[in-house]
């Protein structure tokens, strides 16, 4: 699908993987909506790329719908949705004083899984109303999982479970939306230079990068954006989860 002239919404677009995706899609000619809780940063990025910022909580239907509607005003309508919003709060099943509070797991799972479903369902509903392009396609929805869905580490109970849920919904949703000519693809990144890792000391980031077989470094957000661009333009990519991890398989700890 051609990117130029399309409307795109990137949930979690004000930082990390989402910000890189916003910049890439805008550079390719899309009208991009940056949907993020951090409205100030979203507005700064929007001013730089000629996009639109909408304060969005992926668990709030009204704010997600507002972002979707803003993207649908593009000349060719909303045709690209990318969900990068998520939390990575670590917590073991059992803490020093006994079972970890259920709310700790609830928050991560709600944001990462239910938030993704909320954004996906509302974006898909808007995309389904598009006129098909010259090859019959209406749009594409890209979700973000994690390799933690496959080899989650100790302390990633909720995170791994939530990302496993995103992996699990990819094929059934792709099968469902095929009738509307909407593709659904999920990216499962490995260790990337994102805000989740930015707070770690540099030597720790370097050590983590060295665990990646090749290239032996942390992934760059632009490399995630490269894959989003390819997914959008390659019509045969559908119903798939793509690991983007340099062949990394994470150790238990």
Q: Nearest to residue 219, comparing CAs of 185, 247, 241, 186?
A: 247
Which residues, other chains included, contact 146 with Cβ-Cβ below 8 Å and sequence gap of 6+? 159, 160, 163, 188, 189
Distance CA 80, CA 92 (A): 36
Walk across the sheet containing 78-83 and list its strands.
Answer: 52-55, 31-36, 7-11, 78-83, 139-144, 182-189, 241-244
Q: Give me 146's structure tokens.
A: 């994690």
Q: Please give the angle made by the CA atoms of 6, 11 and 15, to the nearest 5 degrees.
A: 110
CB 36 within 8 A of CB 11: yes
Query: Which residue of the set 150, 159, 214, 224 is catalytic?
Result: 159
Torsion of CA 146, 249, 156, 114, to 10 degrees: 20
Distance CA 144, CA 168 (A): 12
- 225 DSSP 8-state letter: H
Q: Is 159 noted as a catalytic residue in this protein?
A: yes
Give the catalytic positions in this structure: 159
């Amino acid at each position: 699908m051609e990117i130029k002239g399309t409307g795109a919404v990137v949930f979690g677009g004000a930082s990390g993987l989402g910000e890189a995706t916003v910049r890439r899609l805008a550079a390719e000619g899309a009208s991009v909506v940056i949907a993020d809780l951090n409205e100030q940063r979203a507005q700064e990025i929007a001013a730089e790329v000629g996009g639109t910022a909408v304060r969005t909580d992926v668990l709030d239907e009204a704010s997600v719908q507002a972002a979707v509607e803003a993207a649908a005003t593009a000349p060719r309508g909303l045709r690209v949705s990318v969900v990068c919003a998520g939390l990575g709060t670590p917590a073991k099943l059992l803490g020093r004083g006994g079972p970890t509070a259920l709310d700790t797991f609830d928050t991560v799972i709600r944001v990462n899984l239910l938030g993704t479903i909320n954004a996906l369902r509302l974006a898909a509903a808007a995309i389904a109303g598009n006129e098909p392009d010259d090859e019959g396609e209406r749009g594409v929805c890209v979700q973000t999982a994690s390799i933690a869905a496959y080899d989650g580490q100790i302390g990633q109970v909720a995170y791994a479970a939530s990302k496993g849920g995103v992996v699990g919904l990819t094929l059934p949703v792709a099968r469902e939306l095929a009738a509307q000519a909407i593709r659904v693809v999920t990216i499962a990144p490995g260790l990337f230079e994102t805000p989740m890792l930015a707070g770690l000391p540099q030597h720790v980031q370097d050590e983590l990068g060295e665990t990646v077989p090749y290239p032996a470094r942390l992934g760059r957000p632009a490399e995630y954006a490269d894959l989003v661009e390819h997914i959008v333009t390659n019509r045969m990519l559908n119903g798939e989860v793509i690991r983007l991890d340099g062949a990394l398989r994470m150790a238990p700890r």
